[in-house]
Structure 1
Amino acid sequence: MATYTCPRVEPENRNNLSGRMSMKKMRDLPSHDRPREKLASRGAEALTDVELVALLLGRGVKGRDVSQIAGEVARYLKDNGGSPSYKELLAIEGVGSAKACEIMACFELGRRYLADDGVAGSRITRPDDVLPLVSEWRDRKQEYFLCITLNGAGEVIERRVVTVGILNQSLVHPREVFAEAITDRAASVILVHNHPSGTLEPSSQDIGITRQLVEAGSILGIRVLDHIIITKKSHVSLRELGHL
């Protein structure tokens, strides 16, 4: 089964960058690659987990660069499902009481203000994860073409209908697909459309549109992770079929 590796807004692997940050000291990074400057110019969505934590920490301590501490905090948060404990944060060398409180406050604000619409924030790692987001289109009588935008962490930003009707390359134009993705500062997208006929076999038109959009996304630095065909009873991934 296909699994998705979601990049940042730049066409670079997020995990590779996290590893690089943990090895490179913050002062050794070019100014445009430092978290504060990147956030100001590209938005928070462009930053990795390690970079976001580094921004919260601000600086390191004697013998430990902020990137090292941020990497350890980010791993802790991932292992604990994003539910930080004050005492466990304090146990990380370089995290004091003030920074532990700031991190916990950020998570609590996010919990209070993030609307739980069942779409935004959902993490997509494989084709099956997409299905709950598109269930209402599985039995439509017309073909709907949808675009799901994702951030650098592989989390859903938004889900939109691009076109309704028979798919062809004049209707599903790259500018219609990627206009909102650029506005969202998306790192990647997943394409979805339904087959009212019930067949899962991708048509030559489906394959042609997919390749056209992959090429356009590559130019923009927005990766097309997959194109999924859905029917009332099943689905198929064009990535798993080898078309991406």
Structure 2
Amino acid sequence: MYRYKNKASSLQPREKAKKYGMKNLSDKELISILLGSGTKSNPIDKLSNKILELIDTSNSELSTEELEKINGIGVAKASMIGASMEFSRRRLTPSIQKISYPTDILPAVRHFVTRPQEYFIVITLNGAHEIIKTRVISIGILNKTLIHPREVFSDALKDRAASLVLAHNHPSGNLEPSNEDKEVTKRLISAGDILGIKILDHIIFSHRSYFSFTENQII
């Protein structure tokens, strides 16, 4: 498996797509194909990174005007990216997924395994344990001073969520939760109890596998 990845990583996105299929490209590589080219001051690799970060932090609710603020993105490219995102929402988004086991969450977050930093993600669920929305709350090393309950639960309240699943990636591949991971989880569980929104699990994931706080009886 890892030999395959090493070979693929040396290919340009279009070559990789032709050889292995679009589903084997990272989010950044898909954006590179959409862009086609960059500029002298913002090569395509750098430009794709900027757009991906903007999409991540906006939780896919992104206007073309915001894209046009990036140096190297004009009306045409901003419109193309915006149109592809809207088309995906209308036609390609799967039906609401019911969460019964920790592994059911992984398809909703697996594209974040390519990120070089930790992404703290909150998945809101309705009373039937169906996914309402997946949101990035914070980027960077998980820290209880940065992950404030109001950031986690404000959107959950707007969604009228019955429960949440927390998730974050470990770029190092080490799935063992840190003390900080445990403290953040404990703090958010306490806040959820007050608000009546239960935290069902906290998933740590990487390329290789995942760690479930619920399966390991930490929560």
- Normalised by the length of structure 1, the TM-score is 0.52
One of 175, 192, 196 as aligned partner of 2:150: 175
Q: Which runs of 4+ in 1 moved over 3 A?
A: 114-120
Q: 2:159 aligns with which of 157, 180, 184?
A: 184
What is the Cα deviation at residue 123 of structure 1? Answer: 0.6
CA distance, structure 2, for counterparts of residue 145 and residue 117 of structure 1 = 25
Report what 1:234 is aligned to: 209
Query: What CA distance in whole angstroms lies between the structure 2 residues aligned with 1:160 and 1:125?
Result: 20
The DSSP-based 3-state class of the residue aligned with 1:191 is strand
Query: In the TM superposition, what are the counterparts of 1:80-95 in structure 2 within 5 Å?
Result: none
Deviations 1:64-101 (A, max 9, x none): xxxxxxxxxxxxxxxxxxxxxxxxxxxxxxxxxxxxxx
1:202 to 2:189 alignment: no
Give the structure 2 partner of residue 217 of structure 1.
192
- Deviation sequence 1:130-151 (CA, Å, 0-9, x none): 1111111113110000000000
For residue 138 of structure 1, give the secondary structure of its aligned residue in structure 2.
helix
| SS class of match (1:242) | coil
Question: How much does 1:202 deviate?
Answer: 0.3
Gaps of 5+ in 2: 1-88
CA distance in 1, matches of 2:94, 2:141: 26
Superposed, 1:98-177 pairs within 5 Å as 115=90, 118=93, 121-177=96-152
Q: Is the Cα–Cα contact under 8 Å of residues 120 and 157 in structure 1 kept in the other structure? A: no
Tell me if structure 2 keeps the 8 A contact 1:150–1:157.
yes
Q: Hey, what does 1:11 align to over in structure 2?
A: none
Alignment of 1:5-20 (within 5 A): none
114-123 or 157-166: bigger deviation:
114-123
Contact (CA 8 Å) 1:137, 1:144: kept in 2 or not? yes
2:213 corresponds to which letter in structure 1?
L
Q: Deviations over 1:23-63 (max 9, x none)?
A: xxxxxxxxxxxxxxxxxxxxxxxxxxxxxxxxxxxxxxxxx
User: Measured at CA, do residues 115 and 195 of structure 1 come closer, stay the same or move farther in structure 2, by a change above 3 Å?
Assistant: same
C-alpha distance in 2 between matches for 1:165 and 1:219: 27
Q: Distance in 1 between matches of 2:108 and 2:93?
A: 8
CA 1:236–1:179: 2 relative to 1, 3 Å? same
Find the aligned partners of 1:126 and 1:164 in 2 and give their Cα distance: 26
SS at match of 2:97: coil
- Aligned CA-pair RMSD: 1.5
Per-residue deviation, residues 90-121 of structure 1 (Å, max 9, x unmatched): xxxxxxxxxxxxxxxxxxxxxxxx95654661
For this pair of structures, how many residues does the alignment match?
A: 131
Task: Give the 3 Å change call, closer, same or farther, for CA 208–185 of structure 1 in structure 2.
Answer: same
Deviation, structure 1 residue 240? 1.1
Aligned residue identity for 1:144 = Y
Contact 1:119 1:133 in 2 (8 A): no
Q: Secondary structure at the match of 1:172?
A: coil
Distance 1:240 1:178 in 2: 23
8 A Cα contact 1:124 1:155, kept in partner: yes
Length-normalised TM-score, structure 2: 0.58
Whole-angstrom CA distance in 2 between matches of 1:235 and 1:145: 14
